[in-house]
Amino acid sequence: MKEYDVCIIGSGAGAGPVAYTLAKSGYRVVVLEKGPWLTEKDFAKDEIAVSRRSLYTPPLSEQQHVIEYRDSDGELTTEEGVESGWSFWNGSMVGGSSNLMSGYFHRMKPDDFRLKSAYGDFSDSNVTDWPVGYKEFEPYYEMVERIVGVSGKVVKHAFQEPRSTADFPYVSTWEQPVSRWFDEACVSLGYVSIPTPRAVLPQDALGRSGCSYSNFCGSYGCATGAKGNARAALLDKAIATGNCTIMPHTFVYHLHSDDKRDVTHLDYYDRYQKSRKIKAKIFVVAAQAIESSRLLLNSKSKSFPNGLANNSGQVGKNLIFSAGGSGEGRLEMKDLPKDRQEQLFTRGAFVNRSLQDWYEYDDDGRHYKGGTIDFLYEHANPTSRALGQLYDDEGNMLRGKALQHRIRHAFTGSRVFTFEVFNDWMPTDGCFVSVDEKVKDKWGVPVGKIHLNSHKQDLLTGEFLAKKAVKVLEEMGAVDVTYNISSAPPPNLVAGGCRFGDDPETSVLNSECRAHEVKNLYVTDASFMPTGGSVPYTWTIYANSFRVADAIVKDLKNDV
């Protein structure tokens, strides 16, 4: 049985900083990743493979989840992923889903860490304050800017969070001319346009190449290393120390604990489906929120009959996603002056614009938490853009010349300007992860069962923000403006399940993300988050993982 100082399960944003910090500190680290080890040379812009096949995620016939939700009639519905096509996989490879992110990096605000204190209770929700605040996180947000690489420009606005540095270490990436149109529209409306921070390097730095401006960011791996994914930014450097071992095609299915409630070793299947074991002083679970809960729940023992670290019954509870939705409007070339017609089709550059004017807002006599609106062009993938033209405005399928005309217009006569709304998904008793003992994956291990439930405030806040975004599109002259705010969860923005807190009765982890009941077990992916803020999660996951890594170094020095 191989033995290490630290064994990390998963290799994404929650794992990379721990491996990086511990390896650089001289400790022997092993990272176990279920998926393959892909690098820049493997990331071709194959739009067919990504949009029509699951290139970077497991096939549902081999690995799936069971999903339970209430339908439009209020009836409880249970579906297996292989039947419904509903996939909650986000990126199964070394570096995890950070390989496929768009890299929109917003910090959480100080009041995001004290949601209950700042905005009060909401009925039927489990909103709570974090056990640590923005002050503890700020140095680690700054660390991510430097080490992972974040580009942008700080602009003063009403909800600008405190910073220990004046600006980002890297200037903004190349920007679309339409970004200036957006700025002008915001000035007219009295809004503050914010350059969106990106985990994308505008030029060669940190031993990585700069952006090639293909615009194939979201859902695609980066072929230059410019995107700050966990492998390119952190794991490659951890390996270079000689202290870090990466093991791809390694599926961990059980963590063993002794009578002292310590994890002693784990079981995993290798790429040939042979069961093997690994021993370590400290174990770090960072397998993605749903899968981390599933692993702990499946790791039953005499000391933990309901799953590892779950004598409180809290593992899997308070699962959250990012609430909100999206919208779009079409900028017609024929409606623009000649100079702007040429600018409209500038290829490769980023829009990089956001609004946070309503990160807090008042409505019906109450003060509410609002959110973030990111603006961007539709994805550059021509396959998905063409498929979007298959139906007319009445929902009728088009064929022949009518379809040809619609596609030609979409590609040469206009461009779609879109927005994404991010607001808090309220944690509730009805949204959680359990294990389905009857449904097994290809290894014969019970799969995770995702119980979905949303809070009415999620939709109300999303609607409020979307209507503000619509005003910007209309001010820019966009037509066919639409939006959709939904309670359907985005599978790429999932957190909770192992929330941290000071009370072992209501949380799984302590303030340093160590399990209350297991002294050598940490969880460092988004599972730790009691609430998600109104921003994408990745920057906060990275920051927290660096913070926890420092705590693990102290533990190892004290021989915990």
* pLDDT given for residue 395 in this prediction: 86
User: Strands 29-32, 2-9: parallel, antiparallel or unpaired by DSSP?
Assistant: parallel
Whether 493 maps to a domain, the answer reads: yes
Whether 463 maps to a domain, the answer reads: yes
**Is residue 51's pLDDT more than 70?**
no
Whether 134 maps to a domain, the answer reads: yes
Query: Which residue's entry shows tokens 């957190």?
Result: 495
Q: Which residues pair with 246 in a beta bridge?
A: 31
- What's the CATH number where 99 sits? 3.50.50.60
| pTM of the model as a whole | 0.96
**Is residue 382's pLDDT more than 90?**
no
HEC letters along 275-333: EEEEEEEEEEECCCHHHHHHHHHHCCCCCCCCCCCCCCCCCCEEEEEEEEEEEEEEEEH
Whether 236 maps to a domain, the answer reads: yes
Average pLDDT of 41-61? 83
* Sign of the dihedral through C-alpha 259, 260, 263, 264: negative
Q: How many helices (H) and strands (E) does the chain have?
A: 14, 20
Whether 468 maps to a domain, the answer reads: yes
Each residue of 151-196: pLDDT tens digit?
Answer: 999 999 999 999 999 999 999 999 999 999 999 999 999 999 999 9
Whether 290 maps to a domain, the answer reads: yes
* pLDDT given for residue 294 in this prediction: 98
Whether 164 maps to a domain, the answer reads: no
Q: What is the DSSP string of 101-122?
A: ---B--PPPGGGGGHHHHH---
User: Strands 353-355, 194-195: parallel, antiparallel or unpaired by DSSP?
Assistant: antiparallel
CB 543 within 8 A of CB 333: no
**Is residue 53's pLDDT more than 80?**
no
Whether 169 maps to a domain, the answer reads: no
Give the count of domains, the chain.
1
Residue 213 pLDDT class (50, 70, 90 cuts)? very high
